[in-house]
Amino acid sequence: GYAYAVRWPIALLIVVFPAYVWSVWYLKKEYSAIPEKRDLRVRKWLLFLTLFLAGAIIIGDLVTLVYNFLGGDLTARFISKIAATFVVAGAVFGYYIAELKQNAGLAKIIGWVSVALVALSVVYGFFVAGSPFEARTRKFDQARISDLQNTQSQILDFWRQKERLPESLGELSDSISGYKAPLDPETSKSYEYIKGENASFELCAEFSLPSSGDGAASREFYYAYQDDNWEHEVGRQCFKRTIDPERYPPYEKVPLR
């Protein structure tokens, strides 16, 4: 999703940009203490090299953007990466152009504008992606859905083998295959299983956040039941399933020899 797409750019801005700002601050401190270092030939070569690399990154960014645009491949993750890289490279390029022109005022303006852009980008990124705590909580909910999907598949397989539903999730355990009913990833409690009538059953779990459509995406793994929907609200949520014997008939019994 889009929230996942912006995490990499946020990480880039949080780690790379402060490191760049610190290096600029440290060099300015050195030049203030020893002004002669500003005129060193090595420094000028490093400035030109930095400008060349920053310019190459910006041009490469734009070429990649146009190429993907022509191919219709402008995903949220791709655009976020391009924007983050462009902000950092653009800040470096603009600052050192001002340095070469010995325009301290322009360099200072570029520096503050860059800091403001990065700060706004990071705030926006956290607004879209949510806090790390929320991301961790959502992962727990996604793991619960995955566990329920897996359990659902095991129940279907059990029914097709024995032509009945299990009395409890413990009946699904298999020492040969090594399968054991999963536990809630956060509380380590068993999921709730309710056996119904006419090949119907319910699987229940406690969720910390609403699914926000994620339940629909998780349906790509199993298509065992009609109306196989995994969307949920906060709190206890039960998913009722009914096995269709015509679509999923019992396995044929193979006689032992």
Question: For residue 235, how many other CB atoms are within 10 A of its CB?
Answer: 10
Q: What is the pLDDT of residues 203-212, one digit of tens each?
A: 999 999 998 6
CA end-to-end span of the chain, whole Å? 53
Residue of higher predicted confidence among 100 and 139: 139
Q: How far apart are CA 16 and CA 13, in angstroms?
A: 6
> What's the confidence (pLDDT) of residue 221?
37
Helical axes 76-100 vs 104-129, angle rounded to 10°? 170
Asked whether residue 6 carries a pLDDT value surpassing 70, the answer given is no
Please say if the pLDDT value at position 37 is more than 90. Answer: no
Query: Average pLDDT in the 142-165 region?
Result: 93
- Enter the pTM of the model: 0.55
Q: pLDDT tier at 227 (50, 70, 90 boundaries)?
A: very low
- Collapsing DSSP states into helix, strand and coil, what is residue 89? helix
For residue 114, the model assigns a pLDDT of: 75
Positive/negative CA dihedral, 236, 242, 248, 249: positive
Model confidence at 234: pLDDT above 80: yes
